[in-house]
Chains A and B, each alone.
Chain A
């Protein structure tokens, strides 16, 4: 996605209601370190892959303190997943620092809001991933 900065926003001209003097625009995705976002996404995907791959753990042995592998392995993932999610949280905070927004509610803006939205159809699937 290219419209990560206000200056290059493709549709910024027609949708300038969130723009402000310093050149930033509320109608853009706040800039982010894409590499770190990908890393966070991988950390979050690991528990999903591990637990959806049921045939990797639907067995009885090795036992641990009398617990079948199937049981204790999934309990283990409670802790691993919690740790991975927290790590992803710290990374995401670093990857995309919060960008304060302008006051998007000038009087009369409600009317503007409804008439400009003909979208270009492009996917803007940005995200925390």
Chain B
């Protein structure tokens, strides 16, 4: 508390903040390794234990875990950055997105949990295979999930990088000095994820979420009074967004969505909400819940994080009033630095350190869960399905642990060797791609009417359309000719809209039409291993396949 007077410097290393950051980081590393003893399983040698935490998490652990998983460090950096640079359409849509998300998942995640509980499914591709007996459709779902997750993991590194850059690490010098901190952070993460599996992010999520709540609530109470009150902040944001851009003479951004962009705002929200629980990491965290109702109760209490995200988004506008200059160590403006920079400029160094730790630790939880989810997908739907069908649960767990290392190493190489813009482009594409698995997964939770080949063709066309359309989006201000954004003119409607939604509608229409044709031709639609009652099963109902490995706490938990 003695360093209250320490003014944050804009150059050089901020040692106070760095020390706080390192101490908190070491603390969660210890917790990560300790997690293997937490709710100690009889054995870690199965995917149910290593990859799903024993399917044993109750309402509050699930709340912390899902909150820590879905609201990623990249979100915490990118949403305020978008508010700061382009305003409400690009940034604040995250609020309606994360509100309507919960009624949507309330409807179908209970079913997915139940059928997965009965049949021991670990991934959505497992479910699709069980539902249609179709290896092709299952492989398409698995590959899409894998491809969409990889850049998402890489972007968590971008979140850590933003913090390190503002602290003063990572600029210039040799590649070793620049990238070593990131390298160490990820090596530690890989090590405790390897040993503790999903238990590691579950434990760390408590720290992450507590820090994030603390930091944002303090910032949102303190900063407005420092920068002239909310009225002044909003008028500063309004003025900036109305200012014509020097390049194209159009307004800088949208203070509130104009009438021409209401479709864009709505489809961004809806498309993102439909897509989020198609990602493997969302499914992994959901299936680790111990009962069907754990998830549904969480749909009612997870919006607390959405409220927080909304406040964080507004900090992007606070930064406008505060005249924050997000200049990187390379001397170029980089909007992604706006939140770390705002904290460094406005708070004592030690508190800025806490805020940086919140973001950096915030990157670890989703990165761990994503790598576990991607590894589970690889193991179940590629290794066991195509390479070694007679793999035992212990072999599955072993392959998955190794795969989680490979996935993280790949993400690291991706971020360090390629331009950051590539990761952002792929993440944008990933959001479009992952939504194309929605019909095969969610429609199939309700009905077997759809034909597996129709779903596969719909998925394929959606993928191609989405990728091609995104490729054609240019962003003149950023000097980008391709993948310049997620909005494009929607077919038929003719307004700007989220590309993923256009592709999704095309995908679903094709699935319906082809299903009518294939059903009329009486083409065999595979074998269904699920029963109608499976979709309503709850904890305590017997599993269809007896598990080789006792599930954690199953015997003792009511």
Residues of A at under 8 Å CB distance from B?
A: 3, 15, 17-18, 25-30, 41, 44-45, 47-48, 51-55, 58-60, 63, 65-68, 70-71, 74-75, 77-79, 81-86, 88-89, 92-93, 96, 98-105, 110, 113-115, 117-119, 121-129
Bound: A105/B541 CA distance, A? 12
- Closest CB-CB distance, B527 to chain A, in whole Å? 4
Given contacts A67-B230, A68-B256, contact A52 B533 (CB under 8 A): no
Given contacts A86-B300, A121-B449, contact A48 B100 (CB under 8 A): yes
Verify A30–B542 contact, CB threshold 8 A. Answer: no
Which residues of B, 201-235, contact A by the 8 Å Cβ criterion?
229-231, 234
Given contacts A47-B99, A70-B88, A85-B103, contact A54 B527 (CB under 8 A): no
Contacts of B55 in A (CB 8 A): none
Verify A82–B300 contact, CB threshold 8 A. Answer: yes
Given contacts A101-B542, A118-B524, contact A128 B259 (CB under 8 A): no
Verify B106–A18 contact, CB threshold 8 A. Answer: no
**B300-317 interface mask toward A, CB cutoff 8 Å, 1 = contact, 0 = none?**
110110110010001000
Verify B527–A52 contact, CB threshold 8 A. Answer: no
Contacts of A117 in B (CB 8 A): 133, 526-529
Verify A114–B525 contact, CB threshold 8 A. Answer: no
Verify B256–A126 contact, CB threshold 8 A. Answer: no
Bound: A53/B269 CA distance, A? 11
19 pairs from A and B in contact (CB 8 Å cutoff): A3-B532, A27-B533, A28-B532, A44-B107, A48-B270, A51-B100, A52-B270, A71-B314, A75-B310, A78-B303, A82-B303, A83-B300, A86-B297, A89-B299, A105-B545, A121-B449, A125-B447, A126-B532, A128-B106
Verify B99–A122 contact, CB threshold 8 A. Answer: no
Given contacts A51-B99, A74-B310, A75-B310, contact A127 B111 (CB under 8 A): yes
Verify A47–B543 contact, CB threshold 8 A. Answer: no
Contacts of B301 in A (CB 8 A): 82
- Closest CB-CB distance, B5 to chain A, in whole Å? 30
Contacts of A25 in B (CB 8 A): 533
Bound: A45/B448 CA distance, A? 24
Query: A55 — nearest CB in chain B belongs to which residue?
Result: B262
Tell me whether B285 is interfacial, beta carbon within 8 Å. no
Bound: A81/B97 CA distance, A? 12
Verify B306–A100 contact, CB threshold 8 A. Answer: no
| Supplied contacts A52-B269, A119-B525, A124-B448, 17 more A-B pairs, CB within 8 Å | A15-B531, A26-B531, A29-B532, A44-B107, A52-B96, A58-B257, A71-B314, A74-B95, A74-B96, A78-B95, A82-B102, A83-B300, A96-B536, A101-B537, A104-B531, A110-B545, A113-B527
**B70-111 interface mask toward A, CB cutoff 8 Å, 1 = contact, 0 = none?**
000000000000000000100010011001101110111011
Tell me whether B519 is interfacial, beta carbon within 8 Å. yes
Contacts of B529 in A (CB 8 A): 113-114, 117
| Main secondary structure on A side of the interface with B | loop
Point out which of B102, B110, B446, B533 has the most chain A C-beta atoms below 10 A from its C-beta. B533
Tell me whether B258 is interfacial, beta carbon within 8 Å. yes
Q: How many residues of B contact A (CB 8 A)?
A: 69
Verify A54–B262 contact, CB threshold 8 A. Answer: yes
Verify B107–A128 contact, CB threshold 8 A. Answer: yes
Tell me whether B296 is interfacial, beta carbon within 8 Å. yes
Given contacts A52-B266, A104-B118, A127-B107, contact A119 B528 (CB under 8 A): yes
Bound: A44/B296 CA distance, A? 12
Which residues of B, 502-558, contact A by the 8 Å Cβ criterion?
519, 524-529, 531-538, 540-546
Bound: A66/B235 CA distance, A? 10
- Closest CB-CB distance, A114 to chain B, in whole Å? 5
Given contacts A127-B111, A128-B110, A129-B107, contact A78 B306 (CB under 8 A): yes
Bound: A68/B301 CA distance, A? 26
Verify B102–A85 contact, CB threshold 8 A. Answer: yes
Contacts of A54 in B (CB 8 A): 257, 262-263, 265-266
Verify A127–B533 contact, CB threshold 8 A. Answer: no
Point out which of B229, B270, B314, B528 has the most chain A C-beta atoms below 10 A from its C-beta. B528
Bound: A114/B446 CA distance, A? 20
Tell me whether B334 is interfacial, beta carbon within 8 Å. no
Query: Can you list the 6 inter-chain pairs with the closest CB atoms, starting with the nearest?
Result: A66-B230, A86-B300, A54-B262, A26-B533, A44-B103, A66-B231
Query: A75 — nearest CB in chain B belongs to which residue?
Result: B310
Point out which of B107, B296, B532 has the most chain A C-beta atoms below 10 A from its C-beta. B532
Contacts of B314 in A (CB 8 A): 71
Contacts of A88 in B (CB 8 A): 103, 106
Bound: A100/B307 CA distance, A? 37
Query: A56 — nearest CB in chain B belongs to which residue?
Result: B262
Which residues of B, 231-269, contact A by the 8 Å Cβ criterion?
231, 234, 255-259, 262-263, 265-266, 269
Contacts of A103 in B (CB 8 A): 542
Bound: A73/B240 CA distance, A? 22
Verify A85–B310 contact, CB threshold 8 A. Answer: no
Verify A81–B102 contact, CB threshold 8 A. Answer: yes
Verify A74–B546 contact, CB threshold 8 A. Answer: no
Tell me whether B293 is interfacial, beta carbon within 8 Å. yes
Verify B543–A105 contact, CB threshold 8 A. Answer: yes
Bound: A129/B448 CA distance, A? 18
Given contacts A78-B306, A123-B447, contact A89 B106 (CB under 8 A): yes
- Closest CB-CB distance, A50 to chain B, in whole Å? 9
Query: B314 — nearest CB in chain A belongs to which residue?
Result: A71
Verify A51–B544 contact, CB threshold 8 A. Answer: no
Bound: A48/B103 CA distance, A? 8
Contacts of B266 in A (CB 8 A): 51-54
Bound: A114/B529 CA distance, A? 7
